[in-house]
Amino acid sequence: MRRICFLLLLSLAFPVLGKEGSEHPLLPADISSPRATLNSFLENCETAYNLLLENGRDSDDAQARMEIREAIRNIKHCMDLSEIADFRRNNSAKEAAVALKEVLDRIELPKEKNVPDLKAMTNEDGSLIERWTIPNTEITFQRVKEGPLEGSYLLSSDTVGRAGEFLQRVDHLPYKKGATEGFATSYLTSPGSKWLAAVVKRLPDSVRERKNGQAVWQWIGLGVVLLGAFLVMATIYSIGRRVSRGGADAGLVKYVLGLAFPIMAVFVPMKTIDIITDHLVISGATLYIAKFNLSLLTLFCSMVVVLGIGRRVGEVIVSAPHIKSQSIDAQLIRVMSRLMGFVTAMVLLLQGGQHLGIPLSSLLAGAGVAGAALALSAQDVLKNIFGSIMLIMDKPFIVGERIKIKHYDGVVEEVGLRSTKMRLLNGHQAIIPNEDMARSDIENIGRRPFIRRVADIPLSISITSAKAKKAVELVQELLKDHEGSNPEFPPRVWLNDFERDHLELRIIYWYHPPDYWKYTVHVDLVNRQILDAFEVEGITIALPAFTSRIEDQSGVPVVPPGLNC
């Protein structure tokens, strides 16, 4: 009699616990032992089945939706999902749950007292037994060794991964009494919305049959949805490319608004995933393939958005009134904003790859191999980019300045990532790789504070000392307080040297500011004034003299006929 009373109390315990759990929605499922985990799993599966059967997937009853979510949360709490990628974890857990419930509804389970509780899983020395397997099956409960669920017993990751296989092996067995018949079929083929369910209900039975893991109507819906997503993406891409054509030069506002289209493109694959998961209820490998590729497309579009934001942020900053659009500072801002966008995109790639189940080590190794291949195939491009960074940091010149580099002499028009454009004095445009610009000597004429003139006037070798002195005084007087003079840089005039055929008078003076064309006008004026002054004083400027000597083979001078020596 005592034994019967004990069994009755034990049978009443789970309904009482279930009622208490409904009053405490934050209370997780009991997974303290194989017995607790098994009971929690079965009870929550039956709760979810009854609620779905009564209200459907798209219920208007908020309470029913909350209870379904709670039941599904508790079901997933009973399974080890650590080896499943984040992006497929939710669907994998649901599919594994319905498959395992179908299996447990067909096989003989041990009596509850024979399913070990926490006490039965404890050894005499106090240590816990690591795992327990349902007799005559491969369904195993594994103790968690680390993490927030340490010490709990969950349906092992191997059991979760092989749930579909187990169902195929027992699918021929009949249901036990009280089983949730057709749970897997109903869950995997029922539409996720009322309007779609009404449409499917009117379809022929042949369209509702399962073929290759999905119902025929699901295959049709999947094709329509993917085709529609492709057309929408192609339209968005076309419009976005047209709007952004020409970049910031075509209009900054238009260029910034063009970013809306890649942002819209991010949500298309995301919404497509929701449709095929929640409305079409695609499952199995088909779902994982579609979801993986759509998630990858979402990641790619997100990277495009991040890179676009980097470019547009740089252009917005450069548009400030105090920044010249083609200056070195503007190029530095553009480079840094694009670099930040690239780094952010790489971080997004690594995080997204982990979410898709790609190990971080594989991503880093792939990035390393890709980086090495890129570096080898684009050495010149990378050299020019680094050269441009050095030019931007050192600022040896800015746009609009005249410079001399190698045999080029002209005005800088643009400093790009790969090359620098110069307008030469003859009107031609020179495009010089930034690698050459960074490692060559640059003479920045545009930054000179003045123009220095050095001129030599040849005086006749027969000039007297008085006239030579007078020549120096005349030039000094002409250059005194000349146009463009600066008291800190007085003109210098002196007899410099005795040459073979003339006496050299040297002039040095400085012209401020360094306006070249005004300087040339001033040079012309000074030269004419010197000529006029020398003419008045009778000072002769020496002409170049040449002496020719003709010798025969023996070295004796030869006088040509008719030439008087």
Q: In 96-128, which positions are buried (b, 16+ CB within 10 angstroms) versus exposed (e)?
A: bbbbbbbbbbbeebeeeeebbeeeebeeeeeee
Count of beta carbons in the 10 Å neighbourhood of residue 139:
22
Q: Is the pLDDT of residue 2 over 50?
A: no
Comparing 180-184, 270-274, 309-313, 381-385, the range with the smallest average pLDDT is 381-385
Residue 36, pLDDT score: 93
Residue 284, pLDDT score: 77
How confident is the model over 92-99, as a mean pLDDT? Answer: 88
Reported as a single tens digit per residue, the pLDDT across 328-358 is 667 777 777 887 888 888 888 878 877 776 6
Q: Is the pLDDT of residue 195 over 50?
A: yes
Q: Is the pLDDT of residue 18 over 80?
A: no
Tell me which fold the domain 388-446 belongs to. SH3 type barrels. (2.30.30)
Name the band, by pLDDT with cuts 50, 70 and 90, for residue 4.
very low
Name the band, by pLDDT with cuts 50, 70 and 90, for residue 181.
confident
How confident is the model over 109-138, as a mean pLDDT? Answer: 90
Q: What is the pTM of this model?
A: 0.57
CA distance 474 to 486: 20
Q: Is the pLDDT of residue 20 over 60?
A: no
Residue 494, pLDDT score: 94
How confident is the model over 447-472, as a mean pLDDT? Answer: 92
DSSP state of 168: H
The tokens describing 92, both together, are 């994998």
For domain 450-537, say whether CATH 3.40.50.2300 is its number: no
Higher-pLDDT residue of 348 and 539 is 539
Residue 244 CB-density burial (10 A; 0-12 exposed, 13-18 middle, 19+ buried): buried
Residue 255, pLDDT score: 77
Strand partners, 79: 155
The tokens describing 471, both together, are 């020549």
How confident is the model over 480-505, as a mean pLDDT? Answer: 91
How confident is the model over 144-161, as a mean pLDDT? Answer: 91
How confident is the model over 62-82, as a mean pLDDT? Answer: 87
Reported as a single tens digit per residue, the pLDDT across 413-441 is 888 777 889 999 899 999 998 888 888 88
Residue 15, pLDDT score: 40
Q: Where are the domains of the chain?
A: 14-190, 214-377, 388-446, 450-537
Of the candidates 445, 443, 438, 450, the residue with the CA atom closest to the CA atom of residue 328: 438
Distances (CA, A) of 269 to 194, 266, 273, 296: 23, 6, 6, 9
Residue 366, pLDDT score: 57
The tokens describing 16, both together, are 């009482």
Distances (CA, A) of 429 to 178, 331, 392, 439: 88, 20, 21, 21
Q: 197's torsion region: left (phi>0), alpha (psi -120 to 50) or beta? A: alpha
Q: In 407-435, which positions are buried (b, 16+ CB within 10 angstroms) versus exposed (e)?
A: eebbbbeebebebbbbeeeeeeebebbbb
> Do 505 and 456 form a contact (C-beta atoms < 8 A)?
yes
The tokens describing 12, both together, are 């009443």
Angle, alpha carbons 17-18-20 (nearest 5°) = 65
